[in-house]
Each structure stands twice: as structure tokens, then as C-alpha cells.
Amino acid sequence: SARRSGAGSVHRYDDALRAEQDRRGVLRADLDGALERGELRLVFQPVVDAVLQRTVSIEALLRWRHPVLGEVSPMEFVPLAEESALIVGIGRWVLLEACRTAASLDDAELAVAVNVSAHQVRSGDLVPDVLAALEDSGLSPARLLVEITESVLLDDAHVVEDLGVLRRIGVRIAVDDFGTGWSSLAYLVGMPVDVLKMDQYFLSGVEHDPSRRAMCRAVLQLGTSLGLPVIVEGVTTPATLALLRDMGHRYLQGFQLSRPLEADALAAGVRLAAGALHGPEVVTP
Ligand code: C2E
Ligand code: MG
Ligand code: MG
Ligand code: MG
């Protein structure tokens, strides 16, 4: 005889919760040593300049191929790495690997963007790690962009100081996921910031939602007023691409231009991404 669905679903919920905790436990344990075992790699997503019609930078994105579970998303494992402080060692490797890759490309103008977590900045190791990566790779500081989230800027004076040191040697600082944090706009003034990356949130449903379109315009105007370029991330469809270009957004990143590229496909993919600006004509609503 079948159990009543009420009790059954509670059990299923328990099982699901336990499975999730088990997975987290497994990932947390296995992340220790993943770097040494060669399970981590970087992929690189182009950012295209719609005016110059070329790829101006690539964002390094971390990937983990678990030997049993397969590809694990950084949205799942980066937070675990942050909890266990493994992120400091992993982040150091990401900086080095990203700078080496950029330096190896035959394009002296292409910059590389590296995501840096709050924990890494707070650890105090960011400045020495960046200097070591630049020295080891021979990459010009002007070709490195460090991506931080808004909340990092609010952290404390030391963080802002360290970012200022990086800027003085020519490294640029980008605020990632801009617009969704809780920082007031006043905070941006006088902050060591060179680039804003508008959060993907504003693009979901943007073709049909006038309020999101207004936000996309507002972020661009804010950047213009502050003299900061705005990168739009998450450009996923031809219609969104056309709409953003109509609005005057210049720096674009997303699947519609290019998926993140494996290192061995990078040189060719960087050229193809700009070509995607000339995709099939789309009529904007
Ligand atoms: P993020 O820095 O905001 O990176 C953008 C994310 O959006 C990437 O996900 C990228 O693959 C995805 N994306 C790009 N274009 C599109 C699109 O058109 N549509 C949609 N739906 N998504 C798009 P990914 O690679 O899974 O990374 C997720 C997050 O993990 C990153 O968000 C970043 O916060 C973190 N992360 C990735 N690599 C690193 C790293 O090396 N260090 C640290 N600390 N965090 C990292
Ligand atoms: Mg990023
Ligand atoms: Mg982002
Ligand atoms: Mg994000």
C-alpha cells in the first residue's frame, strides 16, 4: 500500500537535503589537492568592443573537473574554497595562469580579467600575488584587470589601500556584478575603480521590461558621468545584443558573442567573438 504523499514528501525532502550535504562534504574534502592533481583549469570569455569591433579583454573563469562527479560549477565550489581558505592558494594560481596565458597570446592589446574573492583581498596577499604573477609572466600591468565585487570596496581601509597600490602600478580594477549590491552610489566616488561590470540581472527579460531597460540606461549614464567604461555581462540572445547596441552600450560579454573558451581555442575564438557582432539582423521590439 502506498504511503500518503505528505509523509513521503517529507522523506524525499530529507533525502534531498542529505544528498546535498553529502555532495558539499565530498566537494569540500576533494577540493583540497584538486589543484595539485591538475583538476583545475581556466577558460576565457571574450569581452568585445562594439565600436572598435574587436575583443579587448578576456575574463578568466575557473573550472574544476572532478574525477567522479565531472564538471563542477565555480558557483558551487568557489564558496567552499572561500570557507576553507583554499581560495588563497587557488586564487594565486589563477592569477599566475591567467597572466601567463595572456602573455602567450600574440596580441599586445588584449587584457585579461581575473576574479578575486573578498577573502583573497582581505588576506593581504593580493598585492604580492599580483606582483609575482606579473613578474613571472612578463605581462604588462596595463593588461591586467582585477575583478572584485561591490562589497569588497566597503570592507575596510586596508582593502582600498591595496587596490590603490595595484592601480598605481597600472593594474585596473573592475567592480563585478555592479548594481545588485547594497553599496550606495556615493561610495564609488573616490574609490580605486576603473571599470564597472553591470550585473546580468538587468538583462533578464530586458526586451519586454521597461524598468530593466531604464536600469541599463542608468548604469551606462552613471559610468559615463564618472568616466568609467561599463561592461555588460550575460548578453545571451541576438535581441539583447541588438537592444544594448541601440542603447549605446559599447563593451559586451556573453554567450551571444562567445562562450568561455578553452585555452587551446583562445587565439581563434578571440577573433571570432568580434565577428558575432555581425550576427543575423534582429528587429528590436
Ligand atoms: P562572474 O565573474 O560574474 O562571471 C560571469 C559568469 O557568467 C560566468 O559563469 C560566465 O560563464 C557566465 N556567463 C557568461 N556569459 C553568459 C551568458 O550570456 N548567459 C549566462 N546565463 N551566463 C553567462 P561561471 O564561469 O560559472 O562563473 C560563475 C562565478 O564564479 C563568477 O561570476 C565568479 O563570481 C566566480 N568565479 C569564476 N572563476 C573564478 C575565479 O577564478 N576566482 C574567483 N574568486 N571566483 C571565480
Ligand atoms: Mg567576473
Ligand atoms: Mg559578473
Ligand atoms: Mg556574477
pLDDT tens digits, one per residue of 109-119: 999 999 999 99
pLDDT at position 20, please?
82
pLDDT digits (tens, 9 = 90+) for 226-274: 999 999 999 999 999 999 999 999 999 999 999 999 999 999 999 999 9
Ligand 1 pocket, 149 CB below 6 A? Answer: no
Please give the full DSSP string across 34-65, using - where no structure is assigned.
TTTTT-EEEEEEEEEETTTTEEEEEEEEEEEE
Cα angle value 233/82/75 (rounded, 5°): 35
pLDDT confidence bin for 103, thresholds 50/70/90: very high
Ligand 1 pocket, 58 CB below 6 A? Answer: no
Statement: residue 8 has pLDDT above 70: no
Instruction: Find where cell 578575486 sits.
Output: 116
In the numeric block, which cell numbers belong to residue 93?
594560481
In the numeric block, which cell numbers belong to residue 135?
613578474
Q: Of all atoms in ligand 1, which is nearest to the CA of residue 94?
A: 41
- The sign one gets for the Cα dihedral 271, 53, 99, 254 is negative
Mean pLDDT, rounded, for 94-117? 96
The ipTM value here is 0.98
Minimum CA distance residue for ligand 1 atom 22: 234
Ligand 1 pocket, 74 CB below 6 A? Answer: yes
Distance 177 CA to ligand 4 centre (A): 5
Which of 61, 116, 255 for a ligand 1 pocket mutation test, highest count of atoms within 8 Å of Cβ? 61
Comparing 1-5, 18-22, 96-100, 193-197, the range with the smallest average pLDDT is 1-5
pLDDT at position 209, please?
93
pLDDT at position 1, please?
45
pLDDT confidence bin for 282, thresholds 50/70/90: very low
pLDDT confidence bin for 190, thresholds 50/70/90: confident
Q: Of all atoms in ligand 1, which is nearest to the CA of residue 256?
A: 18
Q: Of all atoms in ligand 1, which is nearest to the CA of residue 117?
A: 44
Distance of CA 50 to the CA centre of its chain: 20
Ligand 1 pocket, 177 CB below 6 A? Answer: yes
